Amino acid sequence: MTDTTFPANAARPLTGQDYKTLSLAALGGALEFYDFIIFVFFANAIGQLFFPAEMPDWLRSLQTFGIFAAGYVVRPLGGIVMAHFGDLLGRKRMFTLSILLMAVPTLTIGLLPTYANIGLAAPLLLLLMRVLQGAAVGGEVPGAWVFVSEHVPSRYTGYACGVLTAGLTFGILLGSLVATALNTAYKPDEVLAGAWRMPFLLGGVFGLGAMYLRRWLHETPVFAEMAQRKALAGEMPLKAVLRNHRSATVISMLLTWLLSAGIVVVILMTPALLQKVYHIDARTSLIANTVATLGLALGCITYGVLADRLGAKPVLFVGSLLLAICTYVFYTTLRTQPELLLPLYGLTGFCVGVVGAVPCVLVQAFPAQVRFTGLSFSYNLSYAIFGGLTPVVVTLMMKNDPLGPAYYVMGVCVIGMLTALFVQRSPLAAAPVPA
């Protein structure tokens, strides 16, 4: 009987169809992730427009990042629902549905009236849109990792997940580039006057483009074979995950905490922190963030390939250590040597790329019948708890110490190193990759 845990012909090389699938999945993921994160690049403007002017600056920042975090809190619900049907009806259907659920609220945010127009209803409507975005991305990211990993030979799982994760980071890069262009073309008062809406309206168009791209993708061979053999989950997938795969769930959640800390703090929050704490202008901060995001994308692929060759355990352990060191050096050096912003931020972004090895572990931790559900539940629950609280916790830590972001990331890196010790290399991915 053919093993449907991963594509049967594990020894074959990557084909043109594999590269096409990876490219389309990564590009579609980039466009959808842009929709989800563009909010954070305009957090300062949104804070001024959607909350009372007399509110203290730190409280306005806290509430703005709180609304941003709300998108993470609801991720488990959206992820579990879409993963449930993804394990029973097919990966591709849910992979496409998530696009629509993201594009509509993104477009709506670009049309929302502000606090000056409708008062308290403005932040409440903004919160509702973030909740809908969170439900969509809850199914998108796990679904994308499962989709690409089940298309390629098992010995290329790390590479496939790394490429897909790099694609998601290009969504961040796209957001950074759009924000940089906007801050270059418009003065701060012009951004507040209405230019801030343009990136969200553009995101709606991106969403439609991503939906079109996914028409060309095919169902994964793993799911197609399970469906043909009638080997799909015989009970509610989440029930099987909670009963039979508890240790895999815990490890997946802790590694997701590492992923969320690197992305949320170092990549998403830092542009605003550079402006507020280090008094670096918006344009320079966003240019530096572009460099860091390019480093992140390259790092994701590099660490994914290394996970295929060396195994995820040593890659995650050493990568977490390097991220802790680089984060500390980055935040402590900027005060005295701001001219080193670009190289230091770029290097730190590359070190955040260790997150590219995380999905390799997650997709191999659960059997195919419940893989989408197991990965989605552990990933999204962790992101809701840790990723959702991260902006709030870091903001509160900074009230006492400007190095709060560095200390937070370093602490989570230690947890990542300890968790890596419990990662077992999948025998399905143990075959050496040809040089």
N-term to C-term CA, the chain: 31
How far is it, in rounded angstroms, from Cα 323 to Cα 262?
8
How far is it, in rounded angstroms, from Cα 353 to Cα 175?
18
- Cα atoms in the Cβ-side hemisphere of radius 13 Å centred on 21: 24
Decide: 134 and 78 in contact? Cβ < 8 Å.
yes
The pLDDT of 108-126, averaged and rounded, is 88
Q: Which residue has the tokens 């992305």?
A: 263
How far is it, in rounded angstroms, from Cα 325 to Cα 227?
47
Structure letter (DSSP) for residue 13: P
More confident residue, 221 or 292: 292
For 41, residues 6+ apart whose C-beta sits below 8 A from its C-beta are: 175, 176, 178, 179, 199, 271, 286
| pLDDT (tens digit per residue) in 256-290 | 999 999 998 998 888 888 888 888 887 888 789 88
Cα dihedral across residues 6, 8, 9, 14: positive or negative: negative
Res. 8: pLDDT tops 70: no
Question: What is the maximal distance between C-alpha atoms in the chain?
Answer: 68
Helix axes 371-382, 75-89, angle to 10 degrees: 170
Tokens of 145: 């990792």
Which band of pLDDT confidence, cut at 50, 70 and 90, is reported for residue 231?
A: very low
Percent of the chain clearing pLDDT 70 (strictly above): 87
How far is it, in rounded angstroms, from Cα 162 to Cα 354?
9
Report helix, strand or coil for 51. coil
How far is it, in rounded angstroms, from Cα 357 to Cα 360?
5
**What is the reported pLDDT for 428?**
43
The pLDDT of 236-257, averaged and rounded, is 88
| pLDDT (tens digit per residue) in 73-101 | 777 777 777 766 666 666 666 767 777 78
Report helix, strand or coil for 219. coil
**What is the reported pLDDT for 219?**
66
The pLDDT of 295-321, averaged and rounded, is 95
Mean pLDDT is lowest, of 110-124, 161-175, 370-384, 416-430, for 416-430
More confident residue, 344 or 222: 344
**Amino acid at residue number 360:** C
How far is it, in rounded angstroms, from Cα 242 to Cα 248?
10
| pLDDT (tens digit per residue) in 18-53 | 888 888 788 877 877 788 778 877 877 888 888 877
Percent of the chain clearing pLDDT 90 (strictly above): 28
Question: For residue 280, what are the CA distances in angstroms to 34, 53, 58, 181, 321?
Answer: 24, 23, 18, 17, 28
Which band of pLDDT confidence, cut at 50, 70 and 90, is reported for residue 14?
A: confident
Question: For residue 288, what are the CA distances in angstroms to 90, 167, 426?
Answer: 40, 19, 38
Res. 348: pLDDT tops 70: yes
The pLDDT of 356-381, averaged and rounded, is 88
Question: For residue 314, what are the CA distances in angstroms to 192, 257, 259, 417, 432?
Answer: 47, 18, 16, 9, 16
In degrees rounded to 5, what are phi and psi of residue 321? -65, -45
Q: Which residue has the tokens 């552990």?
A: 378
Q: Which residue has the tokens 């991720």?
A: 75
The pLDDT of 221-235, averaged and rounded, is 58
Res. 147: pLDDT tops 90: no
Decide: 312 and 417 in contact? Cβ < 8 Å.
no
Which band of pLDDT confidence, cut at 50, 70 and 90, is reported for residue 199?
A: very high
Structure letter (DSSP) for residue 432: P
The pLDDT of 339-367, averaged and rounded, is 93
Return the closest-CA partner of residue 285 out of 273, 303, 297, 295. 273
Kindly tell me the number of DSSP H helices and DSSP E strands found in the chain: 21, 0
Q: Which residue has the tokens 């998601």?
A: 168
Q: Which residue has the tokens 């343009």?
A: 198
Domains of the chain by range and CATH?
A: 16-426 (1.20.1250.20)
**What is the reported pLDDT for 3?**
43
Q: Which residue has the tokens 């209405």?
A: 194
Q: How far is CA 67 from the centre of its chain?
A: 17
